[in-house]
Amino acid sequence: MLSDDGSCKQAVASVLVDRIVDGQSANTVNTGPYCKARQRLPLKQLNEAATTAGRLLHQQTPDAWRFKGYNVVLTDGATVQMPDTPENQADFPQLDSQKPGLGFPIARLVVLISLAAGTVMDYGLGAYQGKGSGETSLLSQLFGSLSVGDLLMADRYYCTFAIIALMRAIGVPVLFPIHAGKKVDFSQGIRLGARDHLIDWKKPKRKPVWMAKQEYADLPETITVREFAVNGKVYVTTLLNAKCYHKQELAILYKQRWKIELDFRSIKTNMGMEMLRCKTPDMVKKEITINLLAYNIIRGNLAQAGSLYEKIPRQLSFRSAVQLVIQASKQIVRLTGERLIKALQALLKAMTSTPIGKQKRKSQPRAVKRRPKPFPLLTVPRNEACLML
């Protein structure tokens, strides 16, 4: 999954080369046995490996990487596409606006990512559209992965009464920009400072689609939140003590929410998840899980490197770490003893040598210079287009 190719053919070729180098007989280059073995991988255990690794690394982050003792968790959603097969279309249908045979099955992915470690703690997967497929619906499946000591940070879409009330019930404070549909009046409530106050929110009459009636009825009728404004932007938080959590500090902290967008770029673009390979929903789910496991392994290496060499993992290049691991893995696996320890130390030190976020260059236009190849767009299903040739 970490390689630029990532194909079954490459995986089989890699085993063949390893066997030849070890003096063993060459295996077949037929990918059939490998693909059958891959299909037998148990999804539940793969998922547990990926999420357990992500949560453990999140929990083990040093205090210096946290915000006033809180371990910040980011959440957001993204989409991935997959091959256009009848099986994938059944579970992850393409957009309604696309004609049959011209679109690709699309899935929605919502993740919890540790701000300090950068690891995926848990994720929810569903169809892009339909009942129970919204971002908040998928997020509701992940609440069990949050615990006391975490602080949830997300964009304004997640700033709802139900989510804030549920987070408060499990002892997890939140920090969101105010929802676009919510009006703020700083003349009401308990004043804490300039454009900073405590206010009671009343429970809306309509429940979210992802909550059961009884679950919503059990929520309190009102919750107390803190609304504050910095540079014209209004935020909502359940960190109510203005002396301990100054609004300027919280606004600076919220700027780091953007890191989850960079994480999605690493997961989707750097690891090739924008277009998946597998042709059945079961294998699509395994492919996503293995990608996230590989991602967490790299993040674990960066966290270890940062801890050993007093660096902040978020300021180290993910792509550079992937390149180092790919190049070093086949050689390091043959080492033992003192040679292995020295090689691992050198590898981790090399990961700290590529800082990011500090480049000094002029702002660049959001445009590409390279022209696309002049192929026309497919306007009819491919099998029909073949008949027209």
Q: What is the pLDDT of residue 74?
A: 98
Where does residue 314 rank: exposed (0-12), middle (13-18), buried (19+ CB within 10 A)? buried
Do 189 and 198 contact (CB within 8 A), yes or no? yes
Assign residue 381 a region (left: φ > 0; alpha: ψ between -120 and 50; beta: otherwise): beta
Q: What is the pLDDT of residue 373?
A: 87
Instruction: Enter the pTM of the model.
Output: 0.91
pLDDT in 10s for each residue of the chain, 389 residues: 887 777 889 889 988 988 898 889 998 889 999 999 999 999 999 999 999 999 999 999 999 999 999 999 999 999 999 999 999 999 999 998 888 888 999 999 999 999 999 999 999 999 998 877 889 999 999 999 999 999 999 999 999 999 999 999 999 999 999 998 899 999 999 999 999 999 999 999 999 999 999 999 999 999 999 999 999 999 999 999 999 999 999 999 999 999 999 999 999 888 888 899 999 999 999 999 999 999 999 999 999 999 999 999 999 999 999 999 888 887 887 888 999 999 999 999 999 998 887 667 788 888 989 988 888 888 888 888 899 88
Going by C-alpha positions, the residue among 222, 315, 212, 339 that lies closest to residue 262 is 315
Do 234 and 194 contact (CB within 8 A), yes or no? no
Residue 46: both structure tokens together: 């793969």
Contacts of 318 (CB under 8 A, 6+ apart): 118, 266, 270, 298, 299, 302
Contacts of 213 (CB under 8 A, 6+ apart): 207
Do 156 and 177 contact (CB within 8 A), yes or no? yes
CATH of the domain spanning 41-316, picked from 3.30.43, 3.40.50, 3.90.350, 3.30.450: 3.90.350
Q: What is the pLDDT of residue 358?
A: 66
Assign residue 357 a region (left: φ > 0; alpha: ψ between -120 and 50; beta: otherwise): left
196-202 β-sheet, strand order: 120-127, 106-114, 71-81, 150-153, 174-177, 233-237, 222-230, 196-202, 190-193
Q: What is the pLDDT of residue 359?
A: 64
Contacts of 141 (CB under 8 A, 6+ apart): 124
d(CA 265, CA 2) in angstroms, rounded, equals: 14
Residue 164: both structure tokens together: 């804030």
d(CA 191, CA 195) in angstroms, rounded, equals: 8
Domain ranges of the chain: 1-40, 41-316
Do 235 and 228 contact (CB within 8 A), yes or no? yes
Q: What is the pLDDT of residue 389?
A: 85
Could you please report the per-residue DSSP string of 134-195? SHHHHHHTTGGG--BTEEEE--GGG--HHHHHHHHHTT--EEEEPPTT----TTSSEEEETT
Going by C-alpha positions, the residue among 231, 76, 209, 77 that lies closest to residue 152 is 76
The pairing of beta strand 150-153 with beta strand 174-177: parallel
What's the CA angle centered on 235, arms 230 and 237, to 5 degrees? 125
Instruction: Label each residue of 211-227 as H, E or C.
Output: CCHHHHHCCCCEEEEEE
What is the total residue count of the chain?
A: 389
